[in-house]
Amino acid sequence: MIFGLVQILLFQSLGELISKFLLPTLPGPVIGLVLLVAWLVIRKGVNTELALVADGFSQYLGLLFVPAAVGVVLFLPQLKANALAIISALIGSVVLTIASSAIVARLLSKRPANE
């Protein structure tokens, strides 16, 4: 289990270093996650230690939403004042996401005519 945690922290640290010196516009954890996924693709699988740590983290993902919910409550007057704009932006983004996902899925699922 410790080896899995060390792997996660290693890739996050590499991401932070790359973010600090090469790509300052991208967050370090995002770069580290991309590096970790690339490493796992190269290795063609996830080792048991890393899977164990990932399963342990996934049990507590709900706790990450608590600070966001507190932030929403903190800005409740601004949210009420801009409710129409927020609702329309949310509905518009959901519709565009579903439409673009359907288009990409249709393009990727096309088969050649001779099969």
pTM, entire model: 0.59
For the chain, the C-alpha Rg in angstroms (whole number) is 20
DSSP 12-60: HHHHHHHHHHT-TTS-HHHHHHHHHHHHHHHHTS--HHHHHHHHHHHTT
pLDDT at position 9: 92
Pair 69, 53: CB distance under 8 Å: no
H or E element that contains 96: helix 83-109
- Express each pLDDT in 54-95 by its tens digit: 888 888 888 888 888 888 888 889 989 999 999 999 999 999
Q: Is the pLDDT reported for residue 115 higher than 60? A: no
